[in-house]
Amino acid sequence: MLKLPAIYAENYRDWLPEMLDACLGTLKLAAVSFLIALVLGLVFAICRTSSVRLLRAMSAAYVEIARGLPALVILYIVYYVPPQLMPGVALVALSGFSAAVIGLAIQGGAILAEVFRSGIEALHTGQTEAALSLGMTPAKTMAYIILPQAMRIVLPPVGNYAIGLLKDTAVCSLIAAPELMLRAKDLASSSFEPMAVFVLAAMLYFAMSYPLSLAVRLMEARFGRRG
Amino acid sequence: MERFWQVLAQKGPYILATLLGGLETTLVVAAGALVFALGFGLVIAFMRLSRLRLLRWPAIAYIEFIRGTPALVQLFVIYFGLPDVGLRPSPLQAAIVGLGINGAAYLAEIYRAGIAAIHRGQMEAALTLGMTPLGAMRYIILPQAIRTMLPPITNVAVTLLKDTALVSVVAAPEIMFFARNLVTETLQSMHVYLMAAAIYLCMTIPLSRFVAALERARRAWH
């Protein structure tokens, strides 16, 4: 039987600094992709609810395609296809990190576009009309009436997306982005202790994602259930 | 652009046929993992709902830990870690069990929410009428709960189908496994990955349309 505590006691001095350092890579990757996904999601949600049919159709197609693909497929396309399209152009050969950010942001933008759209659509148009007829300016209506309500609807699913994103960064190890899983694989093969290393990686992922999921639950409890 | 069509005409059929060779494994892994998760998830859900701490706490730990870690890590632990303790799962076994364990945690929460959504009075009424707790669950609670649970369950199925792309890393011969081999063989990464993407979309888009339809039907029913 494998004695994990003994293995950890023996190796933690070598493993822990390395793995924690790789956690920073994971967090950086998740944070940068999250910010870009937020912007993409907002833009596509606005397009999706626009009155221009072309914008609506384009963003609907984007959402369906990006949400229907495995993260791995998107990452492979972003990472391997541009260099083949323009061979010799050094600029298009993305580093693992940038390809990972672009791939995750493309997928996240589609997920968040749907979240934001449902947030916008959930608010009755009567709310805006009532606020305007009470003499509020459109900006004030947005700031005091619409956004506070929309936030409540949107924040828990955005938090859930962030948790999913944090876990999806593990897939980026397959395009050699510098993050936790990549380091774990190296360490597993150099130390010949795959079980101990991958279980440690799982614990570190849990340590990063669990506070987030507690925060989401707190928000859900405070804002009441959706729907 | 011209070259794109040239390559497509020359190698397209070969690439497509090879990729479709992985479709069977993709579907077997997705279906196997779903069946595993449906059954195991129900066990976990009942443990989670139990009044006995000895049953409830392990279930909570399982749900929280599995949902808090990436499926890829779970696959690695099963495929590369288990040999350390003397178990050697085949790629297909590791894929089905790995994704099944992952899906079960999500399904347990869906079952729990679905069962909790049925009013307590229903259970009390059934017990008062002399039904056993198990009979009440089977004939009164679950048939009603299934209506609210069906859309999220189908969502888990879609996620599982997409997650099968990950099992190429444990050498299960599914679509992405063949895709990677094809790229080394033909050097046409664009054609290979775009075709793989198209195959996934052919499966996931109809499924998510189906989820949306279920969701609408459920709202109309309420």
CA distance linking residue A225 with residue B140, whole number of Å? 25
* pTM, 2 dp: 0.88
pLDDT reported for residue A103: 95
The distance of B109 to chain A (nearest Cα, Å) reads: 14
Q: What is the ipTM of this complex?
A: 0.87
**Could B69 and A84 be called an inter-chain contact, meaning their C-beta atoms sit closer than 8 Å?**
no
Crossing angle of helices B189-221 and B175-186, rounded to 10°: 160
**pLDDT at residue B68 greater than cutoff 90:** yes
Which pLDDT tens digit goes with each residue over B116-151?
888 788 888 999 999 998 888 889 888 888 888 888
The distance of A147 to chain B (nearest Cα, Å) reads: 26
Q: Does B75 touch chain A (CB under 8 A)?
A: no
Distances in Å between the Cα of A11 and the Cα atoms of A15, A178, A194, A204, B27 are: 6, 22, 13, 16, 41
Which pLDDT tens digit goes with each residue over B159-208?
999 999 999 999 899 999 999 999 988 888 888 999 999 999 999 999 98
**Could A69 and B73 be called an inter-chain contact, meaning their C-beta atoms sit closer than 8 Å?**
no
Distances in Å between the Cα of B96 and the Cα atoms of A62, B15, B74, B155, B171 are: 31, 26, 12, 18, 13
| Joined tokens for residue A131 | 């606020």
Average pLDDT over residues B38-59: 93
Neighbours of B55 (CB within 10 A): 16
pLDDT reported for residue A88: 65
Closest CA to A62 of A76, A46, A51, A86: A46
| Joined tokens for residue A58 | 């384009």
CA distance linking residue B193 with residue A85, whole number of Å? 13
| Joined tokens for residue A104 | 């995750």
The distance of A72 to chain B (nearest Cα, Å) reads: 7
Distances in Å between the Cα of A145 and the Cα atoms of A112, A124, A134, A136, A140 are: 22, 11, 12, 10, 8
- The residue with tokens 């729907």 is A227
- What are the start-end ranges of the H helices in chain B? 2-21, 23-49, 53-67, 71-76, 91-116, 120-128, 133-136, 142-163, 175-186, 189-221
CA distance linking residue A69 with residue B59, whole number of Å? 31
As a whole number of Å, the end-to-end CA separation of chain B is: 52
- Facing B183 at nearest CB: one of A80, A169, A181: A80
**Intervals of chain A under pLDDT 50:** 226-227
CB B48 within 8 A of CB B115: no
**Could A69 and B200 be called an inter-chain contact, meaning their C-beta atoms sit closer than 8 Å?**
yes
Q: Which residue of B has its CA nearest to A204?
A: B69
3-class state of residue A49 by DSSP: coil
| Joined tokens for residue A132 | 């305007």
A94-115 burial, b at 16+ Cβ within 10 Å, e below that, comes to bebbebbbbbbbbbbbbbbbbb
Cβ neighbors of B196 (< 8 A, separation 6 or more) are A73, B19, B175, B176, B179
- Facing B190 at nearest CB: one of A68, A85, A202: A85
CA A34 vs. chain centroid, Å, equals 5
CA distance linking residue B7 with residue B9, whole number of Å? 5
B154 band by pLDDT with thresholds 50, 70 and 90: very high
Cβ neighbors of B53 (< 8 A, separation 6 or more) are none
pLDDT reported for residue A89: 66
Cβ neighbors of B95 (< 8 A, separation 6 or more) are B29, B33, B75, B164, B167, B170, B172, B174
**Could B65 and A206 be called an inter-chain contact, meaning their C-beta atoms sit closer than 8 Å?**
yes
Closest CA to A98 of A174, A172, A23, A22: A172
Q: Does B198 touch chain A (CB under 8 A)?
A: no
Q: Which residues of A touch B165 (CB under 8 A)?
A: 70-73
- Facing A202 at nearest CB: one of B69, B169, B197: B69
CB B188 within 8 A of CB B7: yes
Q: Which residues of A touch B190 (CB under 8 A)?
A: 77, 80-81, 84-85
CA distance linking residue A165 with residue A108, whole number of Å? 8
